[in-house]
Amino acid sequence: YQSQPVAGRHFLQIPGPTNVPDRVLRAMDNPTMDHRGPDFGKLGKSLLEKVRQVFRTEGPVVIYPASGTGAWEAALVNTLSPGDAVLMCETGWFATLWREMAERLGLAPEFIHTDWRRGADVPAIEARLREDRNHAIKAVCVVHNETSTGCTSRIDEVRRAIDAAGHPALLLVDTISSLGSIDYRHDEWGVDVTVAGSQKGLMLPPGLSFNAVSEKARKAAETARLPRSFFDWKAMLAANETGYFPYTPATNLLYGLDAAVDMLLAEGLDNVFARHDRFAEATRRAVRAWGLEIQCAEPRHYSSALTAVRLPEGHSADALRAAILERFNMSLGNGLGPLKDRVFRIGHLGDLGPLQLMGTLSGVEMGLRVAGVPHRPGGAQAAMDYLAGNS
Ligand code: PLP
C-alpha cells in the first residue's frame, strides 16, 4: 500500500489519525481473546473504569467499534426524539457534517454561524436560549476542537451561557480531536454527552468511538424516541457493570486503549495538555515568522491540537502538500469544504515530541521553498528558539 519505497520514517502530521506509539502497537500485537471468557471481563471492567479519567468524569463511558461518526449518532439517537430542535454551532466542516446528520435523523437543527475562523459564538448561544422561553430546544451541540479550522470552542463558557439563560437543554460536545490533547472536563463543565474517537489524542488507530454520559443524558434516554439499535446505550451501559460488551468488541484495539490510557495517565493529563500548548505555540511562531496567516483569527480560540495555515492568494495548499509528501515523506492535513486548497493543517496532537515537531516544521519550511510559496525563511528557527527556552 506504499506507493514507493522511501527510506526513513513517514511523518504522519495530519490532525488524526495520529502516530501510534510503539508501546500501543505492541499491546495490540497479542492474540485476540474470547470476548465472553473470564479474562475479557476483567479487561473490560478495568478499562471502562480507567478511561473515565481521560474524560474527567466519574460517570459511565460507552465504547463502540465505530469511527467517531458513530459516536455522533449515538449521542443524538439516545437523547432526542423526531422533530426535536437542536442548537448547533457552525465552527467549520465537522460541525456542518454533524448538523447534516441531525437533519437526516429527523431532528430540526438550528445553526449559529461563524466565519470558520473562531470557536462557537457563546453570546449568540445564550441569546438564542433566552429567546426560547418554552424550551423547544432540546440540546446544544458544540464541536470542542474544530479539526477543519484549528479553532477550539470554550466549553466552560458555553456551560455558563446555558446556565445564565436558565435553559434545560442537554449539552453535547464533540471532543474527537481534543480528548487527550486539550484540557477537557466532562463533569466540571456539566457536559451531558461527550463524543470521542480513538485515532487522535488517544494515539490509537481508527476504529473505536466513545460517549461519556451524564445522569441527565441517561434520564433523557428513557424517553427519547429516535430509532436506535446498534448505538443504543442500554446494553452498552450494562458493560460498565459486567465488563462484557453486547456484541463483539474490537478486542485488540481495547488492548491498545489500555496501554494508551496508561501512557496518558503516567505523563499526567495536565502535562499532556501543557506539552500540546507548547507545541502549538511553537508552530504559530513558525507560521508568523514565515509571514503566513493562521486560519484561527481569535487567539483565545487557538487550537493546541492543530494549526491550519492559509496560503497567499493564487497559491495552492494541495500542491504544497503534494510537494512535501513527495520530497519529504510527510503527510499534512488538507483544506475541507470551502477551505479546500486554501489551507493546509499541521497536526501536533497525540504522541509527539519536540524533535518530531521540529522535523515537521522543517519539512513545511522546505516544502514552501520547493513549491514556490512566497514566505520568509526562519520559521523553524523561531520554533527552535521558543522550544529551547521553554522545554
Ligand atoms: N468530529 C471531528 C471534530 C473530527 O475531527 C472528525 C474526524 O476527523 C469527526 C468528527 C469524524 O470522525 P470519524 O472520521 O472518526 O468518523
Pocket of ligand 1 contains residue 68 by CB under 6 Å: yes
pLDDT, residue 73, reads 98
CA dihedral 106, 198, 51, 300 (to 10 degrees): -80
Residue 305 alpha carbon to ligand 1 centre in Å: 13
Question: Distance from CA of residue 342 to its chain's centroid?
Answer: 22
Pocket of ligand 1 contains residue 331 by CB under 6 Å: no
Q: Which three cell numbers stand for residue 153?
A: 470552542
| Substitution site in 141, 147, 331, 339 for ligand 1 pocket (most atoms within 8 Å of beta carbon) | 147
Residue 209 alpha carbon to ligand 1 centre in Å: 10
What are the φ/ψ torsions at residue 135 (nearest 5 degrees)?
55, 50
**Which residue has the CA at smallest separation from atom 13 of ligand 1?**
68
Strands 343-347 and 85-90: unpaired
ipTM: 0.99
Pocket of ligand 1 contains residue 73 by CB under 6 Å: no
C-beta separation of 175 from 142 below 8 A: no
Confidence of residue 366 (pLDDT cuts 50, 70, 90): very high
Q: Give pLDDT tens digits for 304-322.
A: 999 999 999 999 999 999 9
**DSSP string of 199-219, one letter each residue:** SSTT---S--EEEEE-HHHHH
Q: What is the mean pLDDT of the chain?
A: 97
Confidence of residue 1 (pLDDT cuts 50, 70, 90): low
Strands 209-213 and 193-197: antiparallel
Q: Give pLDDT tens digits for 202-231.
A: 999 999 999 999 999 999 999 999 999 999
| Substitution site in 91, 94, 144 for ligand 1 pocket (most atoms within 8 Å of beta carbon) | 94
Whole-model pTM: value is: 0.98
Q: Give pLDDT tens digits for 339-361.
A: 999 999 999 999 999 999 999 99
**pLDDT at residue 302 greater than cutoff 90:** yes
Q: Is the peptide bond before 249 cis (omega within 30 degrees of 0)?
A: no
**pLDDT at residue 3 greater than cutoff 80:** no
Burial of 312 from C-beta contacts in 10 A (0-12 / 13-18 / 19+): exposed
Annotated binding site for substrate: 345
Cα 151 from Cα 240, distance rounded (Å)? 33
Q: Which atom of ligand 1 is nearest to the CA of 143?
A: 3
Pocket of ligand 1 contains residue 350 by CB under 6 Å: no
Q: What is the mean pLDDT of residues 96-101?
A: 98
Cα 333 from Cα 343, distance rounded (Å)? 9
Tell me the C-alpha to C-alpha distance, in Å, between residue 77 and each of 231, 310, 326.
8, 37, 43
pLDDT, residue 6, reads 74
**pLDDT at residue 27 greater than cutoff 60:** yes
What's the one-letter identity of residue 42? Answer: K
pLDDT, residue 58, reads 98
Residue 68 alpha carbon to ligand 1 centre in Å: 5
CATH numbers and ranges of domains, the chain? 11-19+268-390 (3.90.1150.10), 23-266 (3.40.640.10)
**pLDDT at residue 272 greater than cutoff 80:** yes
Pocket of ligand 1 contains residue 334 by CB under 6 Å: no
Question: Distance from CA of residue 238 to its chain's centroid?
Answer: 26
**pLDDT at residue 109 greater than cutoff 70:** yes
**pLDDT at residue 4 greater than cutoff 80:** no
